[in-house]
Amino acid sequence: MRFTQLFIAATTVVLALSVPTKNEKRGHKLRFFGVNESGAEFGNQNLPGVYGHDYTWYNLSTIPTFINKGMNIFRLNLQMERLVPNSLYGPLDPYYSGNLTEQVNYITSLGAFAMICPHNYGRYYNNIINDTAGFEAFWATVAKPFKNNALVMFDTNNEYHDMPQSLVVDLNQAAINGIRGIGANSQYITPEGNSYTGAWTWVSSGNGATMGALKDPQNKLIYQMHQYLDSDGSGTSTTCVNSTIFENRLVAATQWLQQNNKLGIIGEFAGGDNATCLAALEGGLKYLGNNDNVWTGAMWWSAGPWWGDYIFTMEPPSGIAYTDILPKLLPDD
């Protein structure tokens, strides 16, 4: 989701893992099914900001609740400048990284996957990242503490946009090189594309023509795409285009994955609490499951303790997506 919209809304082991078993019974048969945790990237106009005032971390007591509902992956959104402040070549901030480590260790101790996601849109201190060597160094620093934890995933950056296509490819490759270069070889890496990494524009935006060139010596790339169901695909409305729009917007990306022998994951999706959106959500998840030779999973946007009455909040116990939408997306017992 685009950060300006996100901020406004906020302020008003292995694939064969047996836990949780409910996920294996799910009608859409996804290997990964989970939720974004968002809040540690809030207040990005005030850096580094104050914990508890400008940004927050996530309520660990909700993680077992989600797992008991059948989720097994959590995308932990964070801010690069707080994790590695001042310079891409710098060290980890001990306090912010300590909070991240606590979250990752708890999630993975329960047998679920923790995806580390810098929610920066390919920017660092509001400037497009042009220093690929610096980006490689950043990722080497971030990945090193987790290199022996196979339940960690690395998301290179959230929603690159309005950047030269070649730069987006080069930054993704730099991230891969940095992660693998420090010996983190067992983890999945999820490259993201340009144009907000939309599934519906993956081919038309130029991602399809360029992103397949990425190389990983461990062959553990899962291409991350995002897909919302409103008219402009921004995820800012509870009105879905029609009851099949989720599936429709996945078709071209599915064909690209199949033709290029790649794997994909939907890193963000959401829709409103109404009949049209619910039908679209169910249909899209079923489509992903029916194409599980290339699609590995999907993560809802979003949970987090500061979302309040946000239209898609999945935060237990009273978030509208948690109370009204999630039960309808789970299979009958």
CA angle at residue 103 from 98 to 107, to 5 degrees?
Answer: 145
For the segment 190-217, the average pLDDT, to the nearest whole number, is: 98
Please list the residues that pair with 127 across neighbouring strands: 124
Query: What gap in Å lies between CA 95 and CA 176, rounded to an integer?
Result: 26
User: What does the DSSP 8-state code read for residue 58?
Assistant: -
pLDDT at residue number 211 = 98
Query: What gap in Å lies between CA 135 and CA 152, rounded to an integer?
Result: 19
Query: What gap in Å lies between CA 189 and CA 142, rounded to an integer?
Result: 13
Query: What gap in Å lies between CA 236 and CA 254, rounded to an integer?
Result: 24
Structural element, H or E, at residue 248: helix 245-248
Classified as helix, coil or strand, 21 is helix
Query: What gap in Å lies between CA 186 and CA 14, rounded to an integer?
Result: 9
Give residue 161's pLDDT band: very low, low, confident or very high (50, 70, 90): very high
pLDDT at residue number 28 = 64
Classified as helix, coil or strand, 232 is coil
Q: What tens digit of pLDDT does each residue of 204-230 get?
A: 999 999 999 999 999 999 999 999 999
pTM: 0.92
Instruction: Please state, in angstroms and as integers, the Cα–Cα distance from residue 27 to each residue in 24, 115, 161, 228, 258, following that order.
Output: 8, 24, 34, 21, 22
Q: What tens digit of pLDDT does each residue of 113-159 get?
A: 999 999 999 999 999 999 999 999 999 999 999 999 999 999 999 99
Q: What tens digit of pLDDT does each residue of 282-309 get?
A: 999 999 999 999 999 999 999 999 999 9
- Active-site annotation, residues: 159, 268
pLDDT at residue number 7 = 41
Give residue 330's pLDDT band: very low, low, confident or very high (50, 70, 90): confident
On the question of pLDDT at 25 being above 60, the answer is: no
Query: What gap in Å lies between CA 196 and CA 200, rounded to an integer?
Result: 11
For the segment 266-270, the average pLDDT, to the nearest whole number, is: 98
Structural contact between residues 35 and 314, judged by C-beta atoms closer than 8 angstroms: yes
DSSP class per residue in 149-182? -TTEEEE--S---SS-HHHHHHHHHHHHHHHHHT
On the question of pLDDT at 24 being above 80, the answer is: no
Give phi and psi for 2, each to the nearest 5: -70, 135
Query: What gap in Å lies between CA 52 and CA 19, rounded to an integer?
Result: 32
Q: How far is CA 79 from the centre of its chain?
A: 14
Residue closest to 96 by CA, chosen among 74, 118, 111: 118
pLDDT at residue number 29 = 74
Q: What sign does the CA torsion over 263, 268, 270, 276 have?
A: negative
Of all residues in the chain, what percent carry a pLDDT higher than 90? 89
Query: What gap in Å lies between CA 233 and CA 120, rounded to an integer?
Result: 19
